[in-house]
Structure 1
Amino acid sequence: MMIYKKQFILFCVALGILGAMASCSQPRYKKSASGVVVSLDQQTKSDAATVKLEVISDEIIRVSATPENTFPNRESLIVIPQENKTAFTVEEKGAFITLKTARIQAQVSLSDGKVEFYDLHGHSILKEADGRSKSFTPIEADGYHGYSFQQIFDSPEDEAFYGLGQHQSDEWNYKSKNEELYQYNTKVSVPFVVSNKNYGLLWDNYSLTRFGNAEEYGQMSQFKLYNSKGEEGGLSAKYITALGEVFTEQDEAEIDYENLETIQRFPDNFPFANAEIVWEGEIEAPETGLYHFKLYYAGYTKVQIGGKEVVKERWRTAWNPNTYKFTVELKAGERVPVKLDWKPDGGISYISLKALSPRSETEQSKLALWSEMGQHMDYYFIHGDNMDKIISGYRHLTGKATILPRWAYGFWQSRERYKTQDEIVETLAEFRKRHIPIDNIVQDWSYWEEDQWGSHEFDVSRFPDPQKMMNDIHGMNAHCMISVWPKFYCNTHHYKALDAKGYIYQQAVKDSVKDWIGPGYVGSFYDPYSQEARDLFWEQMKNNIYKYGMDAWWMDASEPDILSNSSLEYRKKLSTPTAIGSSTEYLNTYALMNADAIYEGQRSVDPNKRVFLLTRSGFAGLQRYATATWSGDIGTRWKI
């Protein structure tokens, strides 16, 4: 019996050795026609299990990573189809795989999947950081599954980062800074960054993204707060009416009135017109370091911390707030005076002050990107000897900028709408009479009947003959651009046609969200993520506006701005689900898909006429649709 037991044990040991040998003999990487795929041993479920490198050109390499063993079949919205004819080699050396083109090389670790990019002389250009440079967290939104993830790269002290779109907060070089990428009127987010170290990084993700610190800004309650009497618990908030009388005074542990939901926390019946609110007291930091503050403001705002004016008076229109960021060095346990002086400058206005806890200078200076939702991590490394060549690589990936009509480069005349046909024609005639050059005159919104937003039909009482209007404009050797929103009132024929096919976002209608026109009307936006919806949207524009010979399109509110100043979470609800997934995953790409509808639509019926669009929001790839982005509804001050 003992002999059989020994034989069985030896047999099991032999099987174990053979299994281990078989495991070791399995290839940990696989070369493909376009690059290499590396399989990793995950230490935790939040680590990458598979990393893929693909050669796009001699100077562009795509890196993809997932905590799963395979990649989903995902079509990029921003990167056009690529024909890969670039020669490359793959070499295994020790614990690394090196992929080399005629201009650059990328090395990936077989143990942890970290990637480093070099020039042909072996000089490092960009390196994923030590430690957990990649991390994944499962997320579900609207029944769709994906991951939140972060990628961190090392960055030398003298590196500078430019790009990320348009963020009107007085920042140019984003080194050691934090920026949130989402779309908002005056804020245009593009997940592309250019370094002064001869590379650019295109982050192929469409959700809420954070550059720098991945954490959300925290409330002022993270500090110990003391009121103006020195009592702990909150800052003194004094509400002062236009007559200079104190309406109420209370302690507040949070200054968070930044959207339509949070402003409900203001004291009931406080008369905001020409009023002033002052938060004052002391803050005590829980730890020593550099705190990053974010001021979200409308109206007139000033901030003092430690007796210094850290924010000189800034102003924004009450209905369209802006963000301003600043840093303050604080010591743990030290009480520091703070004062926020705010004049709302409107019956409804917005204000908040939040902060990020300190991080080490080394961590804060790294190049880091976090995204809320995606199917897998995807970025493109673009090498170039100068920034112009890096931008050329960006166009290689996302599409060439089309040649615009020649007149679009000329002089424009625009105002907050011409209210009648006579007004726009007579204005242009006066320019010609005075010999003032003008190439384009703009017809802003509300040329339709009051309750017909989305009909694309001119109000005949004010615009009796649109064809004659266009003939008159063209007869004076000028062009006309017209405002078209992706918005539809429920009673319009266009809404009903789109809604019948499931192409309208439903939440605003279910919630009876009314706009600011007349008594307020209920409507919603169409879903441009459906090809059929885009086709129908263009068909409606063609049949009602383009037929008159309209020259260009002003695509307003393309963030989409379904309800101004709503919270980010409610904004997502208002525009979900899309035809291809949750708005959480596709938050930032509405303007891109909307531009696709108009550009491809017009080219399909008039291929020999150049297209031009002006849009209030944008994203990577917008340039391929003959589209320019304007600054949005900025504050009416020279200083922005």
Structure 2
Amino acid sequence: MKMNLRASVLLLLLAVVFAVKGQNFEQTTHGIKAVVDDVKVEIAYYSPKVVRIIKSPANRTFTKESLSVIASPQNLNLVVDQVKQVLRVKSKQMQVQLDLETGQLSFADAKGQPLLQEQAGGAGFVPFKDVEEETFRVKQSFVLDKEEAIYGLGLMQDGKMSQRHQTKYLIQGNVEDVVPFIQSHKGYGLFWDNYSPTTFADSEAATSFESEVGDGIDYYFMYGGNADGVVACMRELTGQVPMFPLWTYGFWQSRERYKSQHELLGVVKKYRDLQVPLDGIIQDWQYWGSNYLWNAMEFLNPEFPNPQKMVDDAHNLNAHMIISIWSSFGPHTKQYRELEKIDALMDFTTWPQSGIQKWPPNMDYPSGVRVYDAYNPEARDIYWKHLKEGLWSLGIDGWWMDSTEPDHLEIQPEDYDNPTYMGSFRKVRNAYPLMTVGGVYKNQRELDSDKRVFILTRSAFAGQQRYGANTWTGDVVASWENYKKQISAGLNFSLTGIPHWNTDIGGFFLWEFRDPLNNPDYRELQVRWMQFGAFTPMMRSHGEGFPREIYQFGEKGEPIYDALEKAIRLRYSLLPYIYSTSWEVSARQSTMTRALVMDFAHDTKALDINDQFMFGKSILVCPVTEGMYTVDGKADFSMVKSRQLYLPEAAGWYDFWTGERMEGGQTISREAPIDLIPLYVKAGAILPLGPDVQYAAEKPWDHLELKVFAGDDGSFVLYEDEGDNYNYEEGAFSEIPISWNDGAKKLTIGARRGTFEGMLSERKFTITLSDGSSKTVDYKGKKVVVKL
């Protein structure tokens, strides 16, 4: 009896000692908190699939309201248990393990299959004085599988698909937009929630994020099961994607720059005269006049004497117009004076450097242009007030927000000491585009729900998908090499959860081509870039120095001109498919331009392909990325050349142009004449094709072709709404489910769901099989079954 009592006391004492040494934790509503080796660790579940990890020195208090994350942690039925020194916190979808002796965290799925683990001792806090604030340089290292493929980091110009085995300095720039987020082909993602310049490094030893400023380590781990699931997690965390107007998916023409309203309207009229489809025209900078009036958001240039008439005339030609606005202001603008009064202008060198509009800059006459503090809510409101008064009031359709990274020239270390509303510029540097773009979106949404916000921006950060913005890849130099890099850049950007992006078709600078508009090599590059652009979320031709309108490259009947026109018309024929895919992005967290890992993660040969992608879930796009038809400085189309491409493992593929069926899992050679981009459609796919139009909304979709690609079961949902307002958020839209039963050779056009003002009550569908056979049926909103 005494021995049993003594043994019980001893065991109790041992348990207390172990608790003090290794079990210093508490369970919370959303997970646990613990202290290990003087480091506070918090595990907080935001959903069954998303968990936040916070670490800070035990003697410091770390609280942060995220700029990117808008979700809140959920109250879940978590299971917390412990085996020896390992504490496990488990949701229905995944589990996190914390080693209470080492502080090492590891992540696994619900069944315990390993996904990712921190490197032992991989958390780092190096004291750092940020201006007057005592803070840290923070780092966390992880261990990845040797053959694991990872994607993301933003819009990178490195030509890589998988982002393994490299070191990248993540800081916003003209041609690189950084998002400190990666996702693995294993089906998980990791968002490093820090806004200071950050180094991402991956080697055989470890994979790490290291940021220059941080009061603590703050990251989110998410398990989606596949790439779509990870993107869905990221959007649930940082915001969903609003619908873009239908007209934004047509063809856009711009130039650096149209120098008068007469010139701009002349371009629209020329496209209409040529009967080449066009939906948008863009006015670039200097419509405000001198550089001292930089970004005045008014037409002060005398070459634009009647801006209201210009906008009205463009609208009367059934074209939409967006206009360039910047993140900086000249010293003679009203905005500058107001922002200066509230101390909301930053002090570092930006563009333009000289007040004289000549190259090179004449620094005897400095411009005095300064970047505004977009972190300041009052400054964002001042920005919008002048935008509304000067341009919105004219009926401008959208905003080209240039230099949203922002432009930072002749960088000095002390530049990052600039105070902002939220701390030093160093501390919040990379979130600048999120703040300035978000300010315009929020203010316009509060003002008007009848017109969807559309923003074209040069930079982006995590969460920006919620702000109606399409990011372009910056002022890239035209070359075959740089053109190819745009493919992997956009795909990795999409894999961070931000789906809308585009490039300057043809490249911005033409430094590598002599007499480019007459240079056969450049003309061929323009065609191939245009063909690729037809399969990006925005199709926009733009460039500096030499105009890029289609008629600058010849006339109808000539190979280059005809190839350019064919690419534009192909884009318009796909508008029902594109707009429905856009709805999948907004309503079901899908992605429009899809890296092959999104649909073929099981196919190891597809994981690192950087020059092919899926457009929606049906079309495999294989851009031609090398010159083929320029020989000895002359165009030679006498022989058709080919490109090698890979058909991923699937039930089968159809050549979009010929209907030939091929098996997946093989590399093939496809002829690529100058007017053709190799395209393949998955067996089971249903493609709705629209009418021949001059602009997106010219004709109703009252007679669509449904191309059915047999060989597997498939489905598609045709989406329609009013085209350019937010009524869809209140349920004003329709969906027509369409399914193909391959065994029975039956196409079912299901009953229409939903309604909206102006909806077609009846229409025709012509159903075409890949063998050329077809049937036309009437559809009045009720289920129709067609045997083929």
Q: Which residue of 1 aligns with 2:216?
A: 376
Matched, 1:398 2:203: no
Does the 8 Å CA contact 2:40/2:56 hold for their aligned counterparts?
A: yes
- Asked if the contact 2:56–2:62 (Cα under 8 Å) also holds between the matched residues in 1, the reply is no
Residues 83 and 110 of structure 1: is their aligned pair in 2 closer, same or farther, counting only changes over 3 Å?
closer
Which residue of structure 2 lines up, in the alignment, with residue 567 of structure 1? 411
1:501 corresponds to 2:348: no
**Which runs of no fewer than 5 residues in structure 1 stay unpaired?**
1-16, 43-48, 214-360
Answering whether residue 144 of structure 2 is matched by residue 155 of structure 1, we say: yes
Aligned equivalent of 1:76 = 66
Matched, 1:602 2:444: yes
Aligned equivalents of 1:208, 1:515: Cα separation in 2: 30
* Partner residue of 1:528 out of 374, 384, 388: 374
- 2:538 corresponds in structure 1 to none
Q: How many residues align?
A: 462
Output the amino acid matched with 2:371: F
Q: What is the identity percentage for the equivalent residue pairs of Structure 1 and Structure 2? A: 35
Q: Partners of 2:66 and 2:44 in 1: how far apart?
A: 14
What is the aligned partner in structure 1 of residue 400 from structure 2?
554
Equivalent residue for 2:197, pick from 208, 216, 219 = 208
Partner amino acid for 1:452? L
**Is 1:106 equivalent to 2:96 in the alignment?**
yes
Shift of 1:206: 0.7
Mark the CA change 1:568 to 1:62 in structure 2 (over 3 Å): closer, same or farther: farther
* Other structure's SS at 1:639 match: helix
Distance 2:385 2:175 in 1: 29
2:303 counterpart letter in structure 1: R
Deviations for 1:292-346, whole angstroms, at most 9, x for unmatched residues?
Answer: xxxxxxxxxxxxxxxxxxxxxxxxxxxxxxxxxxxxxxxxxxxxxxxxxxxxxxx
Residue 433 (structure 1) aligned to one of 273, 276, 299: 273
Secondary structure of the 2:293 match is coil
Report 1:281-320 matches (<5 A). none
What's the secondary structure of 2:420's corresponding residue?
coil
Distance 2:332 2:175 in 1: 30
- Taking structure 1 as the reference length, the TM-score comes to 0.69
Question: Deviations 1:469-520 (Å, cap 9, x if unpaired)?
Answer: 11111111110010000111112221001111111113559xx964663544
Q: Distance in 2 between matches of 1:156 and 1:507?
A: 43
Cα deviation, residue 68, structure 1: 2.9
State the match for 1:458 in structure 2. Answer: 299
User: Secondary structure, in 3 states, of the residue corresponding to 1:391?
Assistant: helix
Match of 1:190 in 2: 179
| Secondary structure class of the residue paired with 2:399 | strand
2:287–2:301 Cα contact (<8 Å) kept? no
Alignment of 1:165-564 (within 5 A): 165-212=154-201, 362-363=204-205, 366-450=206-290, 451-507=292-348, 514=354, 517-518=357-358, 519-563=365-409
| Contact 1:558 1:615 (C-alpha < 8 Å) held by counterparts | yes
Distance 1:636 1:462 in 2: 30
2: CA distance, partners of 1:462 / 1:618 = 33
The answer as to whether partners of 2:259 and 2:287 remain within 8 angstroms in 1 is: yes
Instruction: Report the equivalent of 2:126.
Output: 137
Equivalent position of 2:649 in the other structure? none
Cα deviation digits, residues 138-159 of structure 1 (max 9, x gap): 1112222321111111111110
Which amino acid letter does the alignment assign opposite residue 187 of structure 2? Answer: N
Whole-angstrom CA distance in 2 between matches of 1:25 and 1:179: 39
Given the superposition, is the C-alpha separation of residues 91 and 610 from structure 1 closer, same or farther in structure 2, using an over 3 Å criterion? same
**Structure 2: distance between partners of 1:570 and 1:172:** 35
Contact map agreement 1:164 1:192 (CA 8 A) in 2? yes
Contact 1:144–1:582 (8 Å) recurs in 2: no
Amino acid at match of 1:95: Q
Bigger relative CO (Cα 8 Å, ≥ 6 apart): 1
C-alpha spacing 1:93/1:534, structure 2 compared with 1 (3 Å): same
> For the Cα contact (< 8 Å) 1:525–1:562, is it kept in 2?
no
Q: Deviations over 1:268-293 (max 9, x none)?
A: xxxxxxxxxxxxxxxxxxxxxxxxxx
Secondary structure of 1:522 counterpart: coil
Q: CA-to-partner distance for each residue in 1:604-636, whole Å, 9 max, x for gaps?
A: 111232001111111111110011110100002
Distance 2:305 2:73 in 1: 52
Shift of 1:173: 1.4
Do the aligned partners of residues 99 and 70 (structure 1) sit closer, same or farther apart at CA in structure 2, a change above 3 Å counting? farther
Cα deviation for residue 401 of structure 1 reads 1.4
Is 1:32 aligned to residue 22 of structure 2? no
2:567 is the alignment partner of 1:577? no
Gaps of 5+ in 2: 1-12, 359-364, 483-788
Shift of 1:72: 2.3
Asked if the contact 2:30/2:73 (under 8 Å) is kept, the reply is no
Tell me how large the CA RMSD over aligned residues is. Answer: 2.3
The letter for the 2-side match of 1:383 is Y
Distance 1:173 1:21 in 2: 47
Which stretch of the first structure deviates more once superposed, 166-175 or 581-590?
166-175
SS at match of 1:584: helix
- Spell out, residue by residue over 1:542-599, the C-alpha distance to the aligned partner (whole angstroms, 9 max, x if none): 1111110111111111111143xx23625525xx211011111111111110001110
* Distance (Å, rounded) in 2 between the aligned partners of 1:82 and 1:516: 50
Amino acid at match of 1:417: R
Structure 1: which amino acid aligns with 2:426? T
